[in-house]
Amino acid sequence: MDRDSAWKLLTEYVKNDKLLKHSIAVEACMREYARKFGEDEEKWGVVGLLHDIDYELYPSFPDHPIKGAGILRERGYPEDVVRAVLAHADHTGVERRTLMEKALYAVDELAGFVVAVALVKPGKSLSEVDPRSVRKKMKDKAFAAGVSREAITRGAEELGVDLDEHIAVVVEAMKKVADKLGLGG
C-alpha cells in the first residue's frame, strides 16, 4: 500500500478534477495529523486519498462510501483502511473508534470549507487563509451552505482537538499542497 498505487486506483474511478483536488487536500491533512500523532503517514495519506473513490459514480446515500469500501476490499486494502472510509460518513453506522477514523471524519468537511474560503479571497490563494478567516466564514450560514458546520465541530471534538487548533492544522497542511489544488496564488 503506497501513494503511487493508491493514486492509480483513484484515477481509475475519479476523473473529476475538483474531486481529485479534494482527495489531495484530504490526503495532505491526514498526513499532517499522522505526523502530529506519531502514526503511519503513508497509510493515513492513502486513506485520505481514497476516501471518496466511489463518489463520482455513487455520490449519494446509501451507496457512498459503501461502494468505495467494496472497491478497496476487492483490491486487497487492509480492513482498517476500509473501515476508516466507511466511518467517514455518518449514515453507514460505522462508529469511529481509531484516531485514523476520527481524523478522516474531522478533516473531510473542513478541507472543502477551507477551499471555499480561499476561493473568495482576492488572490484565490490558500496563502490568504488563516484560522480566523475560516471561523468568521463558519458563522455565515449562507456561505458554503452545503458544508456541515456541525460535522466540522463534531470532528474536532471526536479527535480531541480544539476547533481553532484543528482549523490551523488543516489550513497549514493544505498550504503545503496549494499548487496541486490550484490555490497557490
| DSSP for 4-28, written as a single string | HHHHHHHHHH---HHHHHHHHHHHH
Question: What is the number of other CB atoms lying within 10 angstroms of the CB of residue 60?
Answer: 8
Tens-digit pLDDT profile for the chain (185 aa)? 799 999 999 999 999 999 999 999 999 999 999 999 999 999 999 999 999 999 999 988 789 999 999 999 999 999 999 999 999 998 999 999 999 999 999 999 999 999 999 999 999 999 999 999 999 999 999 999 999 999 999 999 999 999 999 999 999 999 999 999 999 98
The predicted pLDDT at position 60 comes to 84
The CATH number that domain 3-180 falls under is: 1.10.3210
Return the domain boundaries, the chain: 3-180
- In the chain, the amino acid numbered 60 is S
The predicted pLDDT at position 170 comes to 98
Give the Cα-Cα-Cα angle 8, 10, 15 (nearest 5 degrees): 105
Contact 29, 173 (CB under 8 A): yes
Q: Quick one: 128 exposed, middle or buried, by C-beta within 10 A (0-12, 13-18, 19+)?
A: middle
The predicted pLDDT at position 1 comes to 79
Which residue's C-alpha cell is 468537511?
109
C-alpha cell at 36: 502530529
Contact 88, 79 (CB under 8 A): no
- In the chain, the amino acid numbered 40 is D
